[in-house]
Amino acid sequence: MTRSTSHGWFFVASLGMVLGGHVSTALAQSVRSEVLPSVGIDQNLDGQLPLELTFRDEQGAKVRLGDFFGGPPVVLVLAYYKCPMLCVQVLQGVAKSLGGAGMQADREFRVVIVSIDPSEQPELAREKKKTYDHHFPEAGIGRGWHFLTGEQPAITALARAFGFRYKYDENSRQYAHASGIVVATPQGRLARYFYGIDFPTRDLRLGLVEASAGKIGSPVDQFLLLCYHYDPLTGKYGLAVLVLLRTLGVVTVGIMGGFVGLMLYRERRSPAKLPAAT
pLDDT at 247: 55
Note the pLDDT tens digit of each residue in 234-248: 434 344 444 544 555
Decide if 199 contacts 93 (C-beta within 8 A): yes
What is the pLDDT confidence band of residue 85, given thresholds at 50, 70 and 90? confident
d(CA 141, CA 127): 13
pLDDT at 131: 96
CB atoms within 10 A of CB 225: 21
What is the pLDDT confidence band of residue 30, given thresholds at 50, 70 and 90? very low
Dihedral, CA atoms, 152, 179, 33, 239, nearest 10 degrees?
Answer: -130
Length of the chain: 278
What is the pLDDT confidence band of residue 117, given thresholds at 50, 70 and 90? very high
Note the pLDDT tens digit of each residue in 86-95: 899 999 999 9
User: Which residues have C-beta within 8 Å of that of residue 93, sequence separation ≥ 6?
Assistant: 196, 197, 198, 199
Q: Please provide the average confidence, as pLDDT, over all residues in the chain.
A: 81
pLDDT at 12: 37
Lowest mean pLDDT among 86-95, 173-182, 210-219, 222-231: 222-231
What is the pLDDT confidence band of residue 170, given thresholds at 50, 70 and 90? confident
Query: Residue 188: pLDDT above 50?
Result: yes
Query: Residue 166: pLDDT above 90?
Result: yes
Burial group, residue 34, by CB count within 10 angstroms (0-12, 13-18, 19+): exposed
Q: What average pLDDT does the segment 127-152 reach?
A: 97
pTM of the model: 0.72
Q: What average pLDDT does the segment 197-201 reach?
A: 93
Query: Residue 15: pLDDT above 50?
Result: no
